[in-house]
Amino acid sequence: MLKVSNEVRDALACGQAVVALESTIISHGMPYPQNAETALEVEQVVRHHGAVPATIALFDGELCVGLEAAQIQRLGQEGLSVIKCSRRDLGAVLAAGRTGATTVASTMIGAHLAGIKIFATGGIGGVHRGAETSMDISADLTELGRTPVAVVCAGAKAILDLPLTLEYLETLGVPVFGYQTKSLPAFYSRQSDLEVDYQMDTAEAVAAALNAQWQLGLTQGALIANPVPEANAIDKAEMDKVIDQALTEADAQGIKGKASTPFLLARVAELTGGTSLQTNIALVKHNAAVAAQTAVALAALEG
Ligand code: PSU
Ligand code: MN
């Protein structure tokens, strides 16, 4: 049921750097056509930095690692009608032969099955605000605790409770590395009032820490938090207002479960009239570059 593209399989067999990319960000994270355009551009950024991209999704009963451009286009066009698949969805969606987009959790699973250790995305799921009553905690976090893949992201959106997300990652034994920063980036903005576990100033330093963790036989992943480029950062107070409104609307409409994150992402994008989309696109590309550099450094250590 695992279908690894020829290009990705050959690269892995030769010890070349490969970077996994998720597909829920395409179907549920951005509007069409920017979603498909961005996904294709992100693959180019990975190549430009010396690694092979492996976007992951489910088609016709197979967990596909490495997609054709036409498949990426389809995920973008079909958008919300594609099934958002986290760990628990994989069996049912594969058995039914339906089209599925992978979240951070299930992309980590596909990457690990294929032998890919580095993965780039925009933001991860986490502990939602109000989780003490809703118990809404993303399966992305538990996956980070059990699967040895490192995820490069721009932190987590403030639709989440960032302090609780860090606490949960600590409980699961997941290290949070700040890429050239001590402060945990907050997706749209470069800083928060929280600190990462370790600041890492180079891709080589990140690769060395990952290599040591996995050489020891530890099985958890890692989070590499890379701040949004300065030119694309949005003022935190401005975003907080928008996020509060989106959260109030979600609450009023009784949105919960797997629909919660896509609803909040879409409302935030609508309410900021496209500014946040440009920021989202810029930070994903930046993460793809850092992920590719890290994958190259890790391949050199392993070689
Ligand atoms: N956060 C973002 N953009 C995204 C997502 C989260 O800023 O596209 C997507 C990712 O695919 C992530 C998923 O894995 O939402 C988390 O969903 P949930 O909270 O339902 O686990
Ligand atoms: Mn959830």
Domain of 196, CATH number, reads 3.40.1790.10
Of 3, 84, 117, 157, the catalytic one is 157
Any ligand 1 atom below 6 A from CB of 144: no
Per-residue pLDDT of the chain (303 residues; tens, 9 = 90+): 999 999 999 999 999 999 999 999 999 999 999 999 999 999 999 999 999 999 999 999 999 999 999 999 999 999 999 999 999 999 999 999 999 999 999 999 999 999 999 999 999 999 999 999 999 999 999 999 999 999 999 999 889 999 999 999 999 999 999 999 999 999 999 999 999 999 999 999 999 999 999 999 999 999 999 999 999 999 888 899 999 999 999 999 999 999 999 999 999 989 998 889 999 999 999 999 999 999 999 999 998
Predicted local confidence at residue 273, as pLDDT: 80
Residue 155 to residue 171: CA distance in whole angstroms: 18
Phi/psi for 273 (5° steps) reads: 55, 40
Predicted local confidence at residue 261, as pLDDT: 93
Number of domains in the chain: 1
Name residue 57's beta-bridge partners.
64, 101
**Domain of 49, in residue numbers:** 2-302
Predicted local confidence at residue 120, as pLDDT: 98
Q: Is 22 a catalytic residue?
A: yes
Residue 5 to residue 100: CA distance in whole angstroms: 17
Predicted local confidence at residue 158, as pLDDT: 86
3-state secondary structure of 55: strand
User: What is Dmax (Cα atoms) for the chain?
Assistant: 54
Of 22, 43, 143, 285, the catalytic one is 22
Predicted local confidence at residue 7, as pLDDT: 98
Predicted local confidence at residue 236, as pLDDT: 87
Any ligand 1 atom below 6 A from CB of 57: no
Predicted local confidence at residue 274, as pLDDT: 82
Token pair 């960032």 is at which residue? 162
Any ligand 1 atom below 6 A from CB of 157: yes
Any ligand 1 atom below 6 A from CB of 261: yes
Closest to 81 measured CA to CA, from 276, 254, 262: 262
- Separation of CA 37 from chain center: 17
Q: Is 41 a catalytic residue?
A: no
Closest to 53 measured CA to CA, from 222, 303, 288, 293: 288
DSSP 122: S
